[in-house]
Structure 1
Amino acid sequence: MSLLGRARPVSSAALSPACCAHCGARLAAGQERFCCSGCEGAHALVAGLGLGAFYGRRETEAGALRPEALAPGLDLAPFAVTQRDGTQRLELIVSGLTCGACVWLVEQALAAEPDVLSARASLSARRLTVTWRGEAGRANDLAALLQRLGFRVAPWSPACLRATEDAEGRALIRALGIAAFGSMNIMLISVAVWVGGDMGPALRHGLHWLAALIGMPVVLLAGMPFYSSAWRAIRAGRPSMDLAVSLGVLATAGMSLSETLRNGPYTWFDGATMLLALLLAGRVFDRAARRRARQSVAELLALQEGLVSRVLPDGHMEAVQAEAIAAGDRVLVSAGERLRLDGVATTDALLDAAATTGESVPRNFAAGDPLPAGAVNMGAAFTMTVTAAARDGSLAAMARLLERAEQAKGRFVAIADRASRFYVPAVHAVAALTFAVWWGVLDAPWQVALVNAVCVLLITCPCALALAVPAVQVVSVGALFRRGVLVTSATALERLATADHAVLDKTGTLTEGRPVLIPEGQDEAVLARAAAIARASRHPLAQALVRACPDVPLAEGVREVPGQGLDAGTARLGSPAFCGLPPSADGMTLVFREGSGEPVRFRFADRMRDDAPASVAALAGLGLDAELLSGDAEGAVAAIAWQAGIAEWRAGVDPVAKQARIAALKAAGRRPLMVGDGINDAAALAAAHVSASPAGATDLAQTASDLVLQREGLAALPEAIRIARRAQAIARENIGFSLLYNVLAVPMAALGLVTPLLAAVVMASSSLVVVLNALRAGKA
């Protein structure tokens, strides 16, 4: 049912009567509910869509959602991409997304449009992906809808995202500079008061006023990142850690101002400003550490930025941005240049694909082979035909998978989130109780009671608990990507760390999946005639025969008999039974027969991957016994199992039997890791405790897998298990440290054993310890 049919009144209870009912900006004299006509129209639009719950759950900057006058602006229709099913897809960067409620409003407002099929927004990346039925020009209407709600949009690009992040970073650095400058100057004044034992009251009073003149503006300006966040939390009805920090800083400053007015012996402007400086420094360092941990996505997207040389129909070249290239365009790749886009080469190429697959040695690509974006041309210049635009290419797809894996919540992340939500209200209650006990029970001066209550607010740190697991997950996902492993599931690392049995497919997993003809003195003319027929099939053995004789043309009148072979009238090529012979024991044989002549056997071998034996041995060293399941003939499976060092193997296993074997292992209490690459492996991959697919696997196999090995071979799989186990150990360490820290720190603050300055130092340090410990997960 359309959302337009569920209109209800909009509640603005979360806003002050003096604030705009839509954007939250303070109302001027004469304004009743809205600060401008744009906000009034946006409020009516939200009500008409039945999305009034937005106002009760959002956390947004005052004025951040104020609609601007609609201007002609940029035409977004050319940025819409037509999908294979005829639908349109558009990716936008959305300014004004500040919390989950904003994401909810954007998605629901677009979903209310009858032609919109899906709308998904990412808060961290500020990326909106929307698909709809109809014309590309509809993109401008959808963008106008978001603008009427107060959001600003532009075509999504890594450069736009970096500009937004840089602006936020500059604001934090600016606040840190103000706090550091003010705290250093106030500290000089405070030292004079501390050491001036015989200082007269007038001089001390003058120094206190000088500290106040410096400290109050510093507290008000440098603390804005905390105050604005705390105000959003209050309006949303949810306490946050920034609210505790704001109360502590403002209470310390207010108490100091009170002591200045009455010419008390001490003030704490030095503590308030130093506290802000330390907290801001901790936030800057924390932001840098988390940005470093998440830079895999940024590095990946940066590979497709830059100019490329497009080959025009008349043969001339033009330099254009990679984003402007469409599928089907031809581009020139110079020697040493990076491929910004996916494509197919017209000639042989030598590429270094280390940036995306982790391969340390450049690889040769034959003419017609797909070329991966992100690789570097190590040979001569060549031209290639682009197969996908930048937004649809392999780099963008990998970036989306990484974002999903980094942002998704596993079991440990959910536990930490719930704990931190309950923790903040408890801290405020303990701080209030501390003040009441010191002032009302112990009969201490209210200044002493307030200092101890402030210390409780400052020293508690649910930030460390909230960061304990997500930081480890982000670091681990990035580290695995740099090692050639793409994590596609939120809980993959948790499950991979507990895997205790490995089930391996043969063809394309333990072997290269590219059979080669065994030279046995075949007649060249007979080989040529067989290869001409083989050109009509995509069967791996037929293609191997073509590779052995690549220059022959396609034979005429060839008909493929599914599951048996090729019939060319007087000649046949296919299985032994298809050509009148008993079946081959190893299953890697094609038979060619012309009329009633003698049949000719072509035997093939699928070469085992070089690192397969070492990888199987490494899995065993990690406690994972390996077994081999394959649909191939017994002879071929036995040979590969023996070469790889696998004692347990089964041949002739169909997809149903593979899935049944996985189910039997799980029923026996095992936690199987399934590794496969084919369509026939998809069911077993989905059913396994955790699954992985190697490079070159089918799309269906990769979709069903929790991990995708980007580089050739299996060597990255044991390393991924080691990193996953290390990540889980570090996550437990972080949770344990966070809980122990708070259990010890809160009573010390409540007992009056710490000062506000020391509380700030300890609190900021705890978050940094958690993040720095998380960075160890990438060094396994």
Structure 2
Amino acid sequence: MALTHDTLSAAPDFSAFVRKDQSGGASLDLLVKGARCAGCMAKIEKSLAELPDVASARLNLTEGRLSVRFRGGRGDAGRVIMTLDRLGYPATPFDPGQAAKAHDQESRRLVLALAVAAFGAGNAMMFSVPVWAGLFGQELGPATRNLMLWLSALVATPCALYAGMPFFESAWRSLKAGRANMDVPISIGVVLTLFISFVETILHGRDAYFDAAVSLLFLLLIGRWLDHRLRARARSAAADLLALQAPSATVVGPDGAERVKPLGDIAVGERVLVRPGDRIPVDGFVEDGVSELDNALLTGETAPVPVRPGDTCRAGAVNLSGSLRLLTLARSEDSAVAAIARLVEAGAQTKSLYVRLADKAAAVYVPVVHTLAALTFAGGWALGLGPREALLRAVAVLIITCPCALGLAVPAVQITASARLFRKGVLVKSGAALERLAEVEHVVFDKTGVLTEGRPRLIDPCPTTLKLAAPLARASAHPLARALAAEAGRSGPRATEVREIAGQGVEGLIDGRRARLGRASFVGVEGRAGGETELWFGFDGDTKVRFRFSDHLRADAAEAVAQLRALGLSVEVLSGDLPGPVERAATAAGIQAWRAGLSPEDKASAIEAHAAAGRKVLMVGDGLNDAAALAKAHAAMAPGAALDATQNAADLVFSGEGLLIVAESIVIARAARRRALENFGFSALYNVVAAPAAMLGFVNPLVAALAMSGSSLVVTLNALRMHAVGRS
């Protein structure tokens, strides 16, 4: 069905919900209802990607959130919403409150349907058991037996119709759109089972399966509810982070008057007052006030961080002592906390190799299983079976081959593994990251800020030279420059026209004179190979000054390296620092292989060389000069205190001061890979055995229902075993 001009002209105007980003692009977030499986996701994303003005579409099943990016700066939101409606998935502009409300309503609905199905299954079987007793030579009289079947029908039918509504409604929407999702064969199987049972009861036949229909729904609803809870757990991680932001902020007007504004209404450039004990609402510069911040949420660092005028504060930090007045640098949706929440959300939107395989299997499921059911019916009738027996076999095929286990096999594992890592302080940005992390054979560490604490201390500072270099140091994000700025005092003049060159240093104007701060060769000192971690400073055409620093090894670095070796991994250090400090740090950590004085290109080339040799490398780095190497590595990790560009290049971001989490993450990733492969193997074996058994008449609809639902429970419970992995 094509969208005609007349159809589009009748579409409601949703252009107000299309957002413009800083690059001039346009995007739209929608709340999609009814999408539950990988097949739904693939259908929605593929159909929207075919629209002429849509650049990409990505559905997060966890939240029901569909993110659509348009080509250019404009997009037709009405066309997108009407396309979704045509597919059978009604959508509205995304609102977090509405999404949470819809999620809670769905949860209550599933619980109520599950309760009704449990009641129906238990009571229908109460009347079915006397009928089953005939299998053991205790045959009931015809009248009594028929009465029991009618009583079973009286209880089971309304319960099945109510409990099946989540499946029936989804199947009906799909069929109206001219497509078939996984709920179609389930609905057909339930309806046919009830129909056959009524025919058998009316004709005084031997078998009826009212209990099977409602038991099937009961077991299916258990699996759907468990899946719902697993997704809610992943969804709540991002929601909990966003909840740490203050709901409002005190804005100081030009006249000095204070007024409280909702967080979402705070604009860039406004002045915000943060009192002691309050959480920083948005990212901003300190204009006035001196205090200490608790940045544990953002960096994992528990020690209070002093701030004064000129310092940057990140949203989510807690103001511990004095009042601060901030000049806001970003809106709440662009804050540090929101960025972390987006990393968590991204972990739920997984499209790894295993998920893609499951998507392909699910895409061919509906036509294949309906064909098998039709062939079973036609073949059975042709081979001499009566229409009743042939239809029973076809229904059993529809029920027993339901791919619920396949659909849950990988997502359940990835969601559980991501939640496990989140509780350990690791944010997983994609399911593919877990797969790649499980495959690594070689680990590469940067030195400064990763193997060491990243808080170098200036040795023997000279006040005169320190004052000269401080304006340029305050303008740099490099750890050595920050240490120099901390020694000189963070408040004070800053250099202008600053330009930071990755792996080299920073240059800018100080009182109109061009100056450089960085490596010796960058500043203009040739042939220098010092034995200490150092920065050089100098004005153009003037004497150059050296600043020496010391940096302590992380307390658990040696233990972390030992654990990585115990996992069968080799370890190496690649650093842009001087050979002396790199050698000392590597030796203290128990690492024999190390290289020093590397540029960003050198690090990336080293990673490429390992890849060319067939080695799968995990790169752990935190600096701007590590971003290229992180992007080239098979898997990449960055600490929470790393630069934004570095975190964006990494697959996983970890908080805290320790490195043991690197080894723990690999252990959990390997366990997740095993669980996913176990689930895949079980799902494949189940279908290979179950489908022929149903076609040959070895199972009836009741046994088919028990077998199918049991397979879903097996893969879900196997995924839940991830909670025990890495527990300490």
* Correspondence 1:75-474 to 2 at 5 A: 83-85=21-23, 87=24, 89=26, 91-95=28-32, 98=35, 99=40, 100-103=42-45, 111=53, 120-122=57-59, 124=61, 125-130=64-69, 142-143=76-77, 156-191=94-129, 205=146, 208-234=149-175, 240-264=181-205, 266-304=207-245, 306-333=247-274, 336-345=277-286, 346-347=288-289, 349-355=291-297, 359=300, 361=302, 363-367=304-308, 368-377=310-319, 382-435=324-377, 440-441=382-383, 446-474=387-415
> What's 1:548 paired with?
487
Q: Deviations over 1:86-108 (max 9, x none)?
A: x3756543456854555556566
Give the partner amino acid of 1:391: E
Cα deviation, residue 499, structure 1: 0.9
1:195/1:392 CA distance change after superposition, 3 Å: same
1:375/1:476 CA distance change after superposition, 3 Å: farther
Cα deviation, residue 76, structure 1: 7.6
The correspondence for 2:648, drawn from 687, 696, 703, is: 703
Q: Does 1:730 align with 2:671?
A: no
Cα deviation, residue 153, structure 1: 7.0
Determine if contact 1:503/1:673 at 8 Å carries over to the other structure: yes
Q: Deviations over 1:126-160 (max 9, x none)?
A: 244556877xxx89xx5566567686876644222
Q: What's the secondary structure of 1:649's corresponding residue?
A: strand
Q: Does 1:664 align with 2:602?
A: no
1:331/1:160 CA distance change after superposition, 3 Å: farther
The correspondence for 2:597, drawn from 652, 656, 663, is: 652
> What's 1:612 paired with?
557
Cα deviation, residue 247, structure 1: 2.5
Give the root-mean-square deviation of aligned CA atoms: 4.4
1:638/1:245 CA distance change after superposition, 3 Å: same
Q: What's the secondary structure of 1:603's corresponding residue?
A: strand
Give the partner amino acid of 2:619: M
1:546/1:212 CA distance change after superposition, 3 Å: closer
**In 2: Cα distance, 1:603 partner to 1:420 partner:** 61
1:185/1:378 CA distance change after superposition, 3 Å: farther
> What's 1:757 paired with?
702
Q: Deviations over 1:716-737 (max 9, x none)?
A: 2222111111111111111112
Q: Deviations over 1:574-599 (max 9, x none)?
A: 788979998351364467899x9999
Using the size of structure 2 for normalisation, the TM-score is: 0.82
**In 2: Cα distance, 1:598 partner to 1:426 partner:** 79
**In 2: Cα distance, 1:636 partner to 1:517 partner:** 14
1:763/1:316 CA distance change after superposition, 3 Å: farther
Decide which moves more: 342-351 or 247-256: 342-351
The correspondence for 1:684, drawn from 629, 649, 656, is: 629
Cα deviation, residue 703, structure 1: 3.1
Cα deviation, residue 280, structure 1: 2.4
Using the size of structure 1 for normalisation, the TM-score is: 0.77
Structure 2 gaps, min length 5: none
Give the partner amino acid of 1:404: A
Cα deviation, residue 251, structure 1: 1.7
**In 2: Cα distance, 1:432 partner to 1:145 partner:** 37
1:104/1:705 CA distance change after superposition, 3 Å: same
Percentage identity across aligned positions?
42
1:351/1:752 CA distance change after superposition, 3 Å: farther
**In 2: Cα distance, 1:251 partner to 1:47 partner:** 39
Q: Deviations over 1:695-733 (max 9, x none)?
A: 333343333332233444533222211111111111111
1:487/1:210 CA distance change after superposition, 3 Å: closer
1:384/1:213 CA distance change after superposition, 3 Å: same
Decide which moves more: 364-373 or 616-625: 364-373
**In 1: Cα distance, 2:653 partner to 2:156 partner:** 55
Q: What's the secondary structure of 1:653's corresponding residue?
A: coil
**In 1: Cα distance, 2:125 partner to 2:456 partner:** 76
**In 1: Cα distance, 2:320 partner to 2:708 partner:** 51
How many residue pairs align between the two structures?
702
**In 1: Cα distance, 2:324 partner to 2:537 partner:** 38
Give the partner amino acid of 2:110: L
1:181/1:319 CA distance change after superposition, 3 Å: farther
1:458/1:663 CA distance change after superposition, 3 Å: same
Determine if contact 2:474/2:482 at 8 Å carries over to the other structure: no
Q: What's the secondary structure of 2:568's corresponding residue?
A: coil
Q: What's the secondary structure of 2:397's corresponding residue?
A: helix
Give the partner amino acid of 2:449: G
Cα deviation, residue 501, structure 1: 1.1
Decide which moves more: 562-571 or 446-455: 562-571
1:530/1:744 CA distance change after superposition, 3 Å: same
**In 2: Cα distance, 1:592 partner to 1:328 partner:** 34
**In 1: Cα distance, 2:295 partner to 2:636 partner:** 24
Determine if contact 2:168/2:183 at 8 Å carries over to the other structure: yes
Q: Does 1:44 align with 2:5?
A: yes
Structure 1 gaps, min length 5: 1-9, 12-41, 49-66, 113-117
Cα deviation, residue 673, structure 1: 1.6
> What's 1:39 paired with?
none
Give the partner amino acid of 2:283: D
Q: Does 1:774 align with 2:713?
A: no
* Correspondence 1:574-589 to 2 at 5 A: 583=528, 585-586=530-531, 588-589=533-534
